[in-house]
Amino acid sequence: MSEERIMYPCTCADCGKEDKVPFEPKPDRPVYCKACLPKHRK
């Protein structure tokens, strides 16, 4: 399991911080950084 994950650049929809995520962000869905994500989990 030494495969490297492909990380995609994104901009947090909350704070505007540049970050990377392990999935390709879709333009019609918001993406959040690690700090903002817990605020949006239900």
Give the tens place of pLDDT for each residue, 1-42: 567 889 999 999 999 999 999 999 999 999 999 999 999 988
2 in any annotated domain: no
36 in any annotated domain: yes
Model pLDDT, residue 14: 96
Task: Answer for the pair 38, 14: CB distance below 8 angstroms, yes or no.
Answer: no
Domain that holds residue 24: 8-40
Total structural domains in the chain?
1
Question: First-to-last CA distance in the chain?
Answer: 31
Q: Is 42 in a helix, a strand, or coil?
A: coil
32 in any annotated domain: yes
1 in any annotated domain: no
- pTM (predicted TM-score): 0.76
Model pLDDT, residue 4: 87
Model pLDDT, residue 2: 64
31 in any annotated domain: yes
24 in any annotated domain: yes
